[in-house]
Amino acid sequence: MHVVIMGCGRVGSTLAHSLESRGHSVAVIDQDPDAFRRLGPDFAGTTVTGAGFDGEVLRQAGIERADAFAAVSSGDNSNIISARLARETFGVSRVAARIYDQRRAQVYERLGIPTVATVRWTADRMLRHLVPEGNVEIFRDPTSTVSIVEVPVHKDWVGRPVRALEGATGARVAYLLRFGIGTLPTPSSVIQEGDQLFMLVTDDMAATVTSVAATPPQGGL
């Protein structure tokens, strides 16, 4: 893949290195040429100085052959304008934008631009660690029917099979985090202390799933 990134701050430079390490070609755009120092001497991709919403700058970065575009500058307006330009003018199929204002993020999602609402995501994650109750939505499908939520489980579920929790809640465990690493559950997976479980739910079942998971399991294994 060829990926164009607008913004060479900490996120953009980290993303560029991650993509390059996976064998993708990368072009990074930033209005400040000094920002490219974050990429370091080992970066083999292209750097283009200019605004990411300038068509000519995008062309210099290879937008016409790009498979993906990421707008991660510090400005919401710049990010969304460049993301829409990449998708609607240049036909890039995979486009995502970082947005600080969560209200704007919801609007742009409806326009078909996937967004990462940085402030809301960080606040939700902090809240999840500080007050482990209820659930935090991680993903919602484009039809707004199915979501993935992090579901805290009662301590008595530790040592029980994942399939037992699925049977009790009627929901599927999409994945779990164990020691900070995402893991897909198998039929033999057992819940361990410290696991973070993420379940697929619909809105009408979310409250029940949360309630069942937060109480001790009934019966045997």
Please report, rounded to a whole number, the percentage of residues in the chain having pLDDT higher than 90: 57
pLDDT at 151 over 70: yes
Please report, rounded to a whole number, the percentage of residues in the chain having pLDDT higher than 70: 86
d(CA 57, CA 82): 11
Q: What are phi and psi of 65, to 5 degrees?
A: -115, 10
The number of residues in the chain equals 221
Q: Three-state SS string across 152-174, please?
A: CCCHHHCCCEHHHHHHHHCCEEE
Average pLDDT, the chain: 87
d(CA 70, CA 115): 10
Choose between 116 and 151: higher pLDDT: 151
Q: Which residue has the tokens 């829409």?
A: 84
pLDDT value at residue 187: 85
Q: How confident is the model at residue 219 (pLDDT cuts 50, 70, 90)?
A: low
